[in-house]
Structure 1
Amino acid sequence: MSSAASNDPYSRLTAPDSDGTPPTDPPMDIEYRGTQGPLFKLGLKTALLTLVTLGIYRFWAKTRVRKYFWSATAPGGDPLEYTGNGLEKLLGFLIAVAFLAIYLGLFQLVLIFAGLSLFSGSENGQDTALQIAASQVTLVAVVPFIFYAQYRARRYILSRTRWRGVRFGVEPAAWGYVWRAMGHWLLTVLSLGLLLPRQTFWLEKYKIDRTWYGTARFTQNGRWQDLYPAMKHYFIAAALILVPSLVAAMTEQLIWLVFLFLGAIWLYYAFAYYSVVSFRILGGAKQLGGKVFFTTEPRAAKVFWTYILGGLLASTCAGLVFSAFFIIASNLLGTSQMLAIEDMAEFKGFDQLGVAEFIGFFMIFMGYILMLVLYGVFGMIFIKQPVLEHYVQETRIVNPAALDEIEQRSRDEMVEAEGFADALDVGAAI
């Protein structure tokens, strides 16, 4: 095959199988069967249970929500299955917290000792600042574990995912991902973002090339330069920010800074555009077992406006709930107490409040808590589910007949589950 043909991203769709015959089966569609009603009930129930248990139930809540989204996603009419459980998440979280506490504690002690040894006996303000800066290096020590947690969480999630009874899996190569991620991030920062496509491609390739479905291995093809078309709105946003800033500095006419607002909005759209288009380019260059291919056509504008309008709708619905509680509380407290809340200097204390006033303060507190809880629930039904549905319905599997040749793989045992991701709050999926 010529080099030109090998670089054609669409040539794989009509490429012959290993026996020399091109695939003739129509692409397999992926259905999404989720609806707002059941998801709202599930989200509200799990959120309230998490609140009542002071956060302990969140491990089981995450499991139940994932099972819902997985079962709602059905390639070829057969839904995915999530087999994880909350107990292994909780145990993994405790293991990760214990490890991080010891690791960071020892690291901090070493830094404090080094700082006191180097700068002891000095009252110089600069030396004091250096001591404080040395103690904050602990934050840098956490960075490798953030990348470690992301890879391990992804490995855990896929190891607990099945389709047609066949398990997914990821090779145990978290530390290799850590060093690569740190190196690529450094290059991206030093290049002022120009090497972001390189980072995106090579980190994705590292993960995908170590991912399996049964006995078939995924591979990420293509080149990192192919992702530069996804960067175009970043360049536009940069121009809208830098050019008016330079003109305002040279002409001393601050009116030009109005364009900074437009540049900030465009930058937000650029982030969504890059995320969607890079997913589309990389998704179309993936293979499974050398015989199964994928096409995906999500639209950046669709995802962007889902986030904007969904976020506004979620905020409005949650805000209305708080407003209802606040109105009831204001009737119980009266005008004088409501004004005292605004000016705490005039607040006489809770010991001088009556029963109705106590109930009023409690209503304000509960309204605030429920507003936060419901914002997460509404965000799930107005943002997460529509975005997931769009990605799912715009993705197809090419040559699905080859999937019948794939056999089962052994189960990956992961003692700490996704504990590091929970401890560091860096989830890898829903």
Structure 2
Amino acid sequence: MDHAGEMRVAYRGDPAKLFPLALGTGVLGVVTLGIYRFWAKARIRRHVWSKVQLGEDGFEFTGTGLEMFLGFLMAVVALAVYLAVVQVILFAFGIRFIFDPQNEMEELAQGVSIGLSFLAVLPLMLFAAYRARRYKLARTRFRGIRFAMENAAGGYMLRGLFYLALTVGTAGLLWPLMTFRLEAFMTERTWYGTARFRQGGRWSALYGAYFHVLVGMGLLVLAVVFGAMEEGWMAGLLGFVGVIWGMVGLILYRVRAFAYLMSHKEMDGGLGFRAEPRAGSVVWLYLKGVFIVGLLGGIASAVIFAPLGTLMVGIEEASELVQIEIAVLGVLSYLLMLTVFGALTLVFVSQPILGHFVGSVTVTGAEALEAVRQRVSDRGADAEGLADALDMGGAF
């Protein structure tokens, strides 16, 4: 306790413990042709969750690799059927994917097919995002009490499509509205035991965090105008500055939006939050982590590929069987290199940034935790299988 009723949230992760876990499970994933990655994800989450502490108590992840694997298999089948139906509908309207376009019309047809297929998958991505968060909460406990999230993925998907259309239709001006409304929808369907969370604040307050994104967008519009006026050098300069400004603005927006939204959440009983992440620290942690990953990953790559390089000497004169064996070793070496880079990125980029966000949060009115009671286990969460099938999953 820092002050009466206040508790700091802390992340006490140790790179020396996370790296061997991430590397070992990653290697097992390669050996099992990716099947073990579900068990790897469960083990990594159990480790990471346990390092997040509120006061003297840590969080617990109770999900299993088996339920995530089964959820993934069911999602793949459902996704395959859905995409097949989409392609049949497109074909009925004369729109089909052309593997090797021979003229401009076929190239246009290929582009339209890809674009419409992506739009068809977009609702599933929104649906999967809600279900993935619901699963993580349903398998998270604090002081033995479960978190939960109501079964409302369909409603989230429809609202997501509506607000996304508004955002696109206004050239990004209503992005803060989409951010606030979708986060509020999730938050107000989240429970800790018998206590419900609510999202306070106003969506228009996010425009302060969105300012630099708007500046970047404005510079890009000016670049287009100068390009139309055939002022190439000015258009190029404004375009370059606009892209950089916009990218930095997006980082600022994500950090400041997190701070505002978290600081305006509350739970039944008077529990609230205060979040103070710093955008400069996030950027520094990212750049430092990328440098470390590049340095250590480069050394690891040299060690991994050095023996293979020795075997490559005189390969032209080797038998076909030997060439196949060396090719297989090359593929395995490449996969091992990716595993090493993945483990390094998790330890030196993702973990420090997560730690910064977690450590920036203070819980107020913590005495409300004492009145919370256990809730029934949620067996309806689908183990985020659809998010995995759409490659939206992550170690955290």
Which residues in structure 2 correspond to 1:33-52 (within 5 Å)?
A: 33-52=12-31
Which residues in structure 2 correspond to 1:10-409 (within 5 Å)?
A: 25-115=4-94, 133=112, 137-243=116-222, 246-247=225-226, 250=229, 252=231, 254=233, 257-258=236-237, 260-334=239-313, 348=316, 351=319, 364-409=330-375
TM-score (norm 2): 0.89
Cα offset, 1:301, TM superposition:
1.1
Contact 2:51 2:58 in 1 (8 A): yes
TM-superposition CA deviations, 1:360-383 (whole Å, max 9, x none): 666644442222111110101111
Contact 1:93 1:418 in 2 (8 A): yes
Closer/same/farther in 2, CA of residues 241 and 140 from structure 1, 3 Å limit = closer
Report what 2:99 is aligned to. none
Report what 1:424 is aligned to. 390
Closer/same/farther in 2, CA of residues 97 and 253 from structure 1, 3 Å limit = closer
TM-score (norm 1): 0.82
Cα distance in 2 for residues equivalent to 1:160 and 1:285: 25
Cα distance in 2 for residues equivalent to 1:249 and 1:50: 52
Cα distance in 1 for residues equivalent to 2:40 and 2:67: 13
RMSD after superposition:
2.8
Q: Which deviates further from its counterpart, 409-418 or 186-195?
A: 409-418
Counterpart of 1:384 in structure 2: which amino acid? S
TM-superposition CA deviations, 1:90-128 (whole Å, max 9, x none): 111111111122222233223323428xxxxxxx98699
5+ long unaligned stretches in structure 1: 1-23, 117-123, 338-347
Counterpart of 1:226 in structure 2: which amino acid? A
Counterpart of 1:58 in structure 2: which amino acid? R
Secondary structure at the aligned position of 2:376 is classed as coil
Closer/same/farther in 2, CA of residues 263 and 137 from structure 1, 3 Å limit = closer
Cα distance in 1 for residues equivalent to 2:106 and 2:10: 62
Question: What is the total number of aligned residue pairs between the two structures?
Answer: 388
TM-superposition CA deviations, 1:234-277 (whole Å, max 9, x none): 12323444445544654635266245434333322212111110
Contact 1:296 1:396 in 2 (8 A): yes
Closer/same/farther in 2, CA of residues 360 and 323 from structure 1, 3 Å limit = farther
Closer/same/farther in 2, CA of residues 316 and 128 from structure 1, 3 Å limit = closer
Closer/same/farther in 2, CA of residues 131 and 260 from structure 1, 3 Å limit = closer
Counterpart of 1:351 in structure 2: which amino acid? S
Cα distance in 2 for residues equivalent to 1:296 and 1:128: 49
Cα distance in 2 for residues equivalent to 1:364 and 1:232: 48
Contact 1:318 1:375 in 2 (8 A): yes
Cα distance in 2 for residues equivalent to 1:403 and 1:414: 25
TM-superposition CA deviations, 1:48-92 (whole Å, max 9, x none): 000100000011000001001100001011000111001111111
Cα offset, 1:130, TM superposition:
5.5
Report what 1:17 is aligned to. none
TM-superposition CA deviations, 1:130-178 (whole Å, max 9, x none): 5984686343222211111110111111000000011100011110000
Cα distance in 1 for residues equivalent to 2:156 and 2:318: 54
Secondary structure at the aligned position of 1:310 is classed as helix
Q: Which deviates further from its counterpart, 158-167 or 323-332?
A: 323-332
Counterpart of 1:380 in structure 2: which amino acid? L
5+ long unaligned stretches in structure 2: 96-102
Cα distance in 2 for residues equivalent to 1:266 and 1:221: 30
Counterpart of 2:87 in structure 1: which amino acid? Q
Cα distance in 1 for residues equivalent to 2:395 and 2:172: 25
Q: Which deviates further from its counterpart, 246-255 or 193-202?
A: 246-255
Report what 2:376 is aligned to. 410
Cα distance in 2 for residues equivalent to 1:126 and 1:362: 41
Identity of aligned residues (%): 40
Secondary structure at the aligned position of 2:39 is classed as helix
Cα distance in 1 for residues equivalent to 2:193 and 2:22: 32
Cα distance in 2 for residues equivalent to 1:403 and 1:43: 33
Counterpart of 2:185 in structure 1: which amino acid? Y
Counterpart of 2:304 in structure 1: which amino acid? F
Cα offset, 1:323, TM superposition:
2.3
